[in-house]
Amino acid sequence: MKNAAGLRCNELKVFVGDKEIVKGVSLNVKPGEVHAVMGPNGSGKSTLAAAVAGHPLYRTEGEIHLDGEPIHDSAPDERSRRGLFLGFQYPVAVPGVTVAGFIKAALEARSDEPLSVFDFRKKLRSAQDTLGIPEDFASRYINDGFSGGEKKRLEILQMLLLKPRVALLDEIDSGLDIDALKVVAKGINQGRDEGLGVVLITHYQRILDYVTPDVVHVFKGGRIARTGGPKLALELEAKGYEGLKDAAAMGGA
């Protein structure tokens, strides 16, 4: 399939039981593009990300393609191995499992050959330096006693090391102070420079001050109600979601 690199969703519907949450969403995220998905609470943004990643709670109809190949029938681990990454809004703690051990296992799961400790430590240290993460971070247990900012830094650290094709970042900016926000944005921009496609789910304009989106989608009632460029996010900040009701009947760019 020509020009198929990246993530493409075609008329994707997502159900919990018989209840339709996402109601026919189409996206085309190309390598190096950032698509910001904004919308009020309960509009289906996080459900969309989880369903694309293959969460078993959700039943889907429609198509999901990654680099031109269908993944809508693939298990979550297969979607991950093929280059899909989900950054969680609320990362869970895993006491007893170190950051370094977890990331090394994840990298080896994507490869046919084991990764030497020396090579892994070199890659890990480089990524930590990029994000300003202290060296002892690697020996701590995953998210155990982490602050909100540390949890989100770990999500971005994993993303940079795993080098996915497309990252779904679900409110990765929530609860961050300005310093943590800048670290997260730096990681996203580095990934983008390396060809990463990003679906950035957020409520707020502030992360978009540091990560300029190529496309902004307004999500409402399980649908993309409006799509535009970076100025659309500024309009949302000024008017709110209700204030955009009359803008092209919430249906135009």
Tens digit of each residue's pLDDT, the chain (253 residues): 445 689 999 999 999 999 999 999 999 999 999 999 999 888 999 999 999 999 999 999 999 999 999 999 999 999 999 999 999 888 999 999 999 999 999 999 888 778 899 999 999 999 999 999 999 999 999 999 999 999 999 999 999 999 999 999 999 998 899 999 999 999 999 999 999 999 999 988 899 999 999 999 999 999 999 999 999 998 888 888 877 754 444 434 3
CA 7 vs CA 21, 82, 178, 183: distances in Å: 20, 11, 30, 25
> Can you tell me which residue has the tokens 């707020």?
204
Q: What is the pTM of this model?
A: 0.91
What one-letter code names the amino acid at 133? I
* DSSP string of 47-71, one letter each residue: HHHHHHHT-TT-EEEEEEEETTEE-
> What is the model's pLDDT at position 247?
44
- Looking at residue 51, its pLDDT comes to 97
Residue whose C-alpha is closest to residue 25's, from 67, 79, 66, 64: 64
CB within 8 A of 51, min separation 6: which ones? 12, 14, 22, 58, 60
Q: Given this structure, which CATH class describes domain 7-90+164-250?
A: alpha beta
Q: Helices 178-193 and 148-162: crossing angle, nearest 10°?
A: 10
Helix (H, G, I), strand (E, B) or coil at 190: helix
d(CA 172, CA 175): 9
- Helix (H) or strand (E) holding 224, with range, is strand 223-228
* Order of strands across the sheet that contains 7-16: 19-29, 7-16, 59-66, 69-70
Nearest 5°: the CA angle 17, 19, 26 is 110
Using DSSP, state whether 12 is helix, strand or coil.
Answer: strand
